[in-house]
Chain A
Amino acid sequence: MEVTSDGRGKSAAQMKRINDTKSILRQPILLIAVIATIVLLLLFVVYPLVKVLIFSLTDETGAISLENLRNIVSSSRYLKVFSRTMLLGLIVAILATIVGYIFAYTITRVNVPLKGFLRTIATLPILSPPFVLSLSVIFLFGKQGLITKNLLGIKGNNVYGMPSLIVVQVMSFFPIAYLTLSGILSSIDASVEDAACNMGAGRWKTFWTVTFPLSLPGIISGALLVFIQSLEDFSNPATIGGDYTTLSIEVYNIITGSYDMRKGSVLAILLLVPAVTAYLLNKYWVNKKSFVTVTGKPTQARKMIDEAHIKWPLFIICIIFTAIILLFYGTVIYGSFVRTWGIDFSMTLDQYRRALQYGTGSLQNSIILAVISAIIGGLLGMIIAYITAKRDYYGKKFIEVSSVLMFAVPGTVLGISYILAFNTKPLLLTGTAAILVIVFTFRNMPVAIESGTTTLLQIDNSIEEASTILGANSGYSFRRITLPLLRNAFFSGIVYSFTKAITAVSAVIFLISPRWTLITSKIYGLFDLAKYGQASALVTMLIGILLVFIGIFNGLINLLLAPRSKVPQLKNKAEDNK
């Protein structure tokens, strides 16, 4: 590639791009990484999405046709499904953000007891397997519900429908709002609020005139992220939605029921557009609107609110919510040890015995595929973070955008796009384990990329330059310097990928095959048979497996990435006696 050495006449920012591109061309390892990443993203992110888009806009002969789209849009049934999906998303987004805000405000501003505990509870549901909350809703409020039947004596209560969906989704997704909001709230400079107080504003006034407006970008951002989660949720509407059909369920029904891929694709696009819009809105609009400036300078510590009339009501709200979450989880664990829920509450391990007979193979599949995809996704995520964080070159923008795009793509849409894209030679992947690994890898990688990028931006450029000037090439520097420093980001990326892979439902429901079934689809199958006890046993085992593997990953990463000292054994023994 010929690039002129004369910088004049080049338009804005082009010089840096040209320079960085040149420098990458000089480093073979980096160049290979960049090219390989672009190829992989084109193949496994862009191609399937383009495929589903084209498929929805063409007819059987391959000619462009808006017939399918017209049919769907003019059908009152699909319009109803669409508006129901949006309505549910909206309600859940608002409620989950309110709950998340209360938790975030209480934890960052108020001097309440048990803070660590509250913080754990507010983040726990992120790592939760699917079906847990819907199972407990059935256990507590269903026909055989502990509360509805045994406590209140209501017979044949119909628990399926919108109210249950709202409860379950709010509980599942409020942690996302909490994390966003606690980040924003704790980065608001304490002195800004103190200033309002100094000028005579009371706590109430300070909150509404300073704290609330400053946290508004976080509120919108949290709400948008929850909205996306609600849209793409499959496991909750599928199990306790009842007649309240959402888009993901409709897509699933059409594809498994009538195998009408074209209709499925159009509906998938209807689901994809609002999700991606919300995602882009959050990424490029809300984040730019943020007023919060992080100076990096430690300002004086925030003085926690200690007035009893603020402290205790907030604390009680949080504790009640916490108690409900614990009740729900406890119910499922309890349910896994009970002989027949609602009728015979004697303790037994039968559910586990039967669950294992039914699901051992799938459980193994899930673990193996999740481990493989987590490691690949974690590594690829670190590589992508590394090649995009501090450089600008031709193609970088593409890597940046496409590598995190999957985060916004609803699982059902992803499933369809992969079937469409990889069911013919030479890319015949459907029915294999590979397609599952690939889906997991690309879908769950964004968290690894984002935490990796954040870490890299915090590492001073000169640290890598120091390694370079001492003779190391980019591969060596990455292995000895960058990767060890990325240890924590790598860990969180792997844990997230693993958790999401082993708990995935919607993205893989179309991609599993008789040879490669997964534990989540097996659990889903148990709902149809109303075998809730076995489902609880499997879900409880999943929780255990998650905890064990998080521990294993932590140990392994420390073992592998902790820098090994080359200090020779000193003659001075006193030095070693520590």
Chain B
Amino acid sequence: MSQTNFTSEFSKKSSNVILKDITKIFQQPDTGKDFVAVNHINLEIKDGEMVTLLGPSGCGKTTTLRMVSGFEYPTSGSVLIGGRDVAKVPPNKRGISMVFQSYALFPHMNVWDNVAYGLDVAKVSKEEMIRRTEKVMDMMQLKGMERRFPNQLSGGQQQRVALARAVVIEPSVLLFDEPLSNLDAKLRESMRDDLRALQQRLGITSLYVTHDQSEAMAISDRVVIMKDGNIVQQGTPSEIYEQPVNRFVANFIGKANFIEGVYKGREGTSAVVEIGDDKFVIPKPGVMPDVEAGSSCCLTIRPESIHLSKENGPLMGTIKRATYYGTKIEYEVELHDQSVIVEVYNPQLTERFQTGEKVSLNLIEQCVRVLK
């Protein structure tokens, strides 16, 4: 993407989005039964912020996005864009823009006409249309492709045209519906970075839907995890990764080990947990408030937060499998009939273990979360 600074030339029209107690109920076509796609959701996307809705398919993320776009109407609740309730505003009057999963380029128009379409609709003057279209084409490195048709472009080029078409109208909100899911892995990563850079440069309020957690982590100011129509957790990527509120989030974002134990209670600001006969002290803020003292709990720990050694320790396990990945070695360790995944980085520099070997697992206690 071109490095020239375009921000100043883009008029600042961006605005915040508030979802107030939004519910969407569908009828299942086969049974006719109600299906709650989105269940009383509250969410604010601040001006200029990039928020990602992340969740497995059927979690309601796309429905939520479509209610912001106006293609779906909430069964109850309201959508506010720039402080205005848009219940009575049709999609074409909301001043927002959207990048579609399938790109949805107009197959019968060339690249230039695709990009200029929104300006043509808005009846801007010819000079302005040319100026703004050329500027965005330049920014998206589409120069020289003006007369090509969508079927003559590669996937990445189509993606850039879709993006150019969406931003040229200077929308107050930009919506992304899994825009990168049709690209191959390498291209997806570079497009992801370009997209984030563009969004930050233009400062457009953005709502992004994806089921790919690494994509969500990489591009978002804030990630909203959804499941079965509910928001499970929202926060910055690091909050979500480091302080998951339940097993679903911990498992959905990255990999996690769950070691069963008993929560004994607090000792100062730390939490005491027993695994078998061994006692562990987890420093603040490791414990979820819904875990009761004396009840069973699980210690959640990321594979990279466990050290292995041959010395004896409280948690002894047996190596069941070792897989070499280059950047890391992944061990599967059997511990009290549970399987624990451990990732060791820089395998060249660190001690290696063989299958069947006894090892001790040393948890980095600052990285442990105690969940119900």
Q: Could you tell me which A residues sit within 8 Å of B by CB distance?
A: 5-8, 10-16, 19, 22-23, 26-27, 460, 462-463, 465-473, 476, 480-481, 484-485, 563, 565-568, 570, 575
Q: From A26, A470, A473, A565, give the contact of B118 (CB < 8 A).
A: A470
Q: Closest 3 A-B residue pairs measured CB to CB?
A: A12-B32, A470-B118, A462-B104
Residue of B nearest to A8 (CB): B34
Q: From A473, A476, A485, A570, give the contact of B146 (CB < 8 A).
A: A570
Which of B68-102 touch A at CB < 8 Å? 69, 71, 73, 75-76, 90-94, 96-98, 100-102
Across-interface contacts of A6 in B (CB, < 8 A) = 75-76
Contact A566 B112 (CB under 8 A): yes
Contact A470 B169 (CB under 8 A): yes
A15 CB to closest chain B CB (Å) equals 5
Which of B258-275 touch A at CB < 8 Å? none
Contact B27 A13 (CB under 8 A): yes
> Does any Cβ of A come within 8 Å of B26's Cβ?
yes
Residue of A nearest to B90 (CB): A26
Q: How far is the CA of A26 from the CA of B93 in the complex (A)?
A: 12
Contact A567 B147 (CB under 8 A): yes
Q: From B104, B109, B147, B169, give the contact of A471 (CB < 8 A).
A: B169
Q: How far is the CA of A8 from the CA of B118 in the complex (A)?
A: 38
Given contacts A6-B76, A7-B34, contact A563 B109 (CB under 8 A): yes
Contact B102 A462 (CB under 8 A): yes
Given contacts A16-B27, A471-B122, A481-B106, contact A462 B100 (CB under 8 A): yes
Contact A13 B29 (CB under 8 A): yes
15 A-B pairs within 8 Å (CB atoms) are namely A12-B29, A13-B29, A27-B90, A462-B104, A463-B105, A466-B100, A468-B92, A469-B69, A470-B165, A471-B118, A471-B169, A472-B92, A563-B108, A567-B110, A567-B112
Given contacts A5-B76, A13-B32, contact A467 B90 (CB under 8 A): no
Across-interface contacts of B120 in A (CB, < 8 A) = 566
Number of B residues near A (Cβ < 8 Å) is 47
A437 CB to closest chain B CB (Å) equals 31
Q: How far is the CA of A465 from the CA of B110 in the complex (A)?
A: 18
Across-interface contacts of B32 in A (CB, < 8 A) = 11-13
B208 CB to closest chain A CB (Å) equals 15
Q: How far is the CA of A323 from the CA of B112 in the complex (A)?
A: 52
What would 11 more interface pairs be, CB under 8 Å, given A16-B27, A575-B147? A5-B76, A10-B27, A12-B32, A27-B90, A463-B105, A463-B107, A468-B71, A471-B118, A472-B92, A565-B109, A566-B120
A137 CB to closest chain B CB (Å) equals 47
B110 CB to closest chain A CB (Å) equals 6
Q: From A463, A469, A563, A568, give the contact of B91 (CB < 8 A).
A: A469
Across-interface contacts of A466 in B (CB, < 8 A) = 98, 100, 104-106, 165
Which of B161-181 touch A at CB < 8 Å? 165-166, 169, 175
> Does any Cβ of A come within 8 Å of B121's Cβ?
yes
> Does any Cβ of A come within 8 Å of B221's Cβ?
no
A547 CB to closest chain B CB (Å) equals 28
Q: How far is the CA of A462 from the CA of B69 in the complex (A)?
A: 12
B207 CB to closest chain A CB (Å) equals 13
A33 CB to closest chain B CB (Å) equals 16
Residue of A nearest to B31 (CB): A12
Residue of A nearest to B73 (CB): A19
Contact A467 B169 (CB under 8 A): no
Which of B21-52 touch A at CB < 8 Å? 25-27, 29, 31-32, 34
Across-interface contacts of A16 in B (CB, < 8 A) = 27
Across-interface contacts of A471 in B (CB, < 8 A) = 92-93, 118, 121-122, 169
A68 CB to closest chain B CB (Å) equals 45
A249 CB to closest chain B CB (Å) equals 48
Across-interface contacts of B26 in A (CB, < 8 A) = 15
A201 CB to closest chain B CB (Å) equals 37
Across-interface contacts of B102 in A (CB, < 8 A) = 460, 462
Residue of A nearest to B89 (CB): A26
Q: Could you tell me which B residues sit within 8 Å of A by CB distance?
A: 25-27, 29, 31-32, 34, 69, 71, 73, 75-76, 90-94, 96-98, 100-102, 104-110, 112-113, 116-118, 120-122, 129-130, 144, 146-147, 165-166, 169, 175
A397 CB to closest chain B CB (Å) equals 16
B181 CB to closest chain A CB (Å) equals 13
Across-interface contacts of B101 in A (CB, < 8 A) = 462
Residue of B nearest to A466 (CB): B104
Q: How far is the CA of A12 from the CA of B113 in the complex (A)?
A: 42
Contact A476 B27 (CB under 8 A): no
Across-interface contacts of B100 in A (CB, < 8 A) = 462, 465-466
Across-interface contacts of B27 in A (CB, < 8 A) = 7, 10, 12-16
Residue of A nearest to B29 (CB): A13
Q: How far is the CA of A575 from the CA of B107 in the complex (A)?
A: 21
B18 CB to closest chain A CB (Å) equals 19
Contact A460 B104 (CB under 8 A): yes
Across-interface contacts of A23 in B (CB, < 8 A) = 73
Q: How far is the CA of A8 from the CA of B34 in the complex (A)?
A: 7
Residue of B nearest to A473 (CB): B92
Q: From B90, B110, B121, B147, give the contact of A470 (CB < 8 A).
A: B121
Q: From A469, A481, A566, A575, give the contact of B92 (CB < 8 A).
A: A469
Contact B165 A15 (CB under 8 A): no
Residue of A nearest to B99 (CB): A466
Across-interface contacts of A568 in B (CB, < 8 A) = 130
Across-interface contacts of B31 in A (CB, < 8 A) = 12
Contact B147 A565 (CB under 8 A): yes
Tell me which of A466, A565, A567 has the highest count of chain B C-beta atoms within 10 A of its own C-beta. A466
Residue of B nearest to A477 (CB): B92
Q: How far is the CA of A19 from the CA of B102 in the complex (A)?
A: 25
Q: From A13, A15, A469, A575, give the contact of B96 (CB < 8 A).
A: A469
Contact A15 B25 (CB under 8 A): yes
Q: How far is the CA of A108 from the CA of B29 in the complex (A)?
A: 37
Residue of B nearest to A15 (CB): B27
Contact B73 A567 (CB under 8 A): no
Across-interface contacts of B98 in A (CB, < 8 A) = 465-466, 469
Across-interface contacts of B146 in A (CB, < 8 A) = 567, 570, 575
Contact A565 B113 (CB under 8 A): yes
A135 CB to closest chain B CB (Å) equals 44
Q: How far is the CA of A24 from the CA of B106 in the complex (A)?
A: 24
Across-interface contacts of B93 in A (CB, < 8 A) = 471
Q: From B92, B108, B169, give the contact of A484 (CB < 8 A).
A: B108
Across-interface contacts of A566 in B (CB, < 8 A) = 112-113, 116, 120, 129
Across-interface contacts of B169 in A (CB, < 8 A) = 470-471
Contact B75 A7 (CB under 8 A): yes
Q: How far is the CA of A23 from the CA of B96 in the complex (A)?
A: 18
Q: How far is the CA of A468 from the CA of B72 in the complex (A)?
A: 13
Across-interface contacts of A19 in B (CB, < 8 A) = 73
Q: How far is the CA of A23 from the CA of B90 in the complex (A)?
A: 9
Contact B25 A470 (CB under 8 A): no
Across-interface contacts of B25 in A (CB, < 8 A) = 7-8, 15
Q: How far is the CA of A367 from the CA of B159 in the complex (A)?
A: 49
Residue of A nearest to B114 (CB): A466
Q: How far is the CA of A27 from the CA of B130 in the complex (A)?
A: 30
Q: How far is the CA of A120 from the CA of B27 in the complex (A)?
A: 47
Across-interface contacts of A460 in B (CB, < 8 A) = 102, 104
Contact A563 B113 (CB under 8 A): yes
Tell me which of A5, A6, A471 has the highest count of chain B C-beta atoms within 10 A of its own C-beta. A471
Across-interface contacts of A26 in B (CB, < 8 A) = 90
Q: How far is the CA of A228 from the CA of B5 in the complex (A)?
A: 69
A4 CB to closest chain B CB (Å) equals 10
Q: How far is the CA of A466 from the CA of B75 in the complex (A)?
A: 23
Across-interface contacts of B75 in A (CB, < 8 A) = 5-7
Q: How far is the CA of A575 from the CA of B71 in the complex (A)?
A: 40
Across-interface contacts of B122 in A (CB, < 8 A) = 471
B173 CB to closest chain A CB (Å) equals 10
B91 CB to closest chain A CB (Å) equals 5
B137 CB to closest chain A CB (Å) equals 11
B206 CB to closest chain A CB (Å) equals 14
Q: How far is the CA of A566 from the CA of B125 in the complex (A)?
A: 13
Contact A467 B117 (CB under 8 A): yes
Residue of B nearest to A16 (CB): B27
